[in-house]
Amino acid sequence: MPEPIDFMREALALARANVAEGGRPFGAVLARDGKALARAANRIHATNDPTAHAELLAIREAAQRSGSPRLDAPSSTPAAIRARCAWPRCTCAA
């Protein structure tokens, strides 16, 4: 079964891929019972939607897939990350 660090690595890969596509360095994975239930990258600039944060998009997708807005099961694991990038003002890292 994957460990939480595996989901963090996947979120980091999403963030890096998003930067390569011209987006912001944010990715998120929401896992339940050791399986990724939802994945997302920041889409704010691509959609002009100020609520399109990676973690919010992953939560929305997970709720749709699970058929419930309740994602607080003890076995749910959120992983959101900001990747290092070349922009001078980016100082947070995974």
* pLDDT at site 92: 38
Q: Tens of pLDDT along 14-61?
A: 999 999 999 888 999 988 888 888 999 999 989 999 999 998 999 899
Contact 66, 53 (CB under 8 A): no
Q: How confident is the model at residue 5 (pLDDT cuts 50, 70, 90)?
A: confident
Alpha-carbon gap, residue 49 to 62, rounded angstroms: 19
From the candidates 3, 10, 21, 55, which is the catalytic residue?
55
Phi, then psi, of 73 in degrees rounded to 5: -60, 150
pLDDT band for position 68 (cuts 50, 70, 90):
confident
pLDDT band at 13 (very low <50, low <70, confident <90, very high): very high
The answer to whether residue 72 scores a pLDDT higher than 80 is no
Q: Is 21 a catalytic residue?
A: no
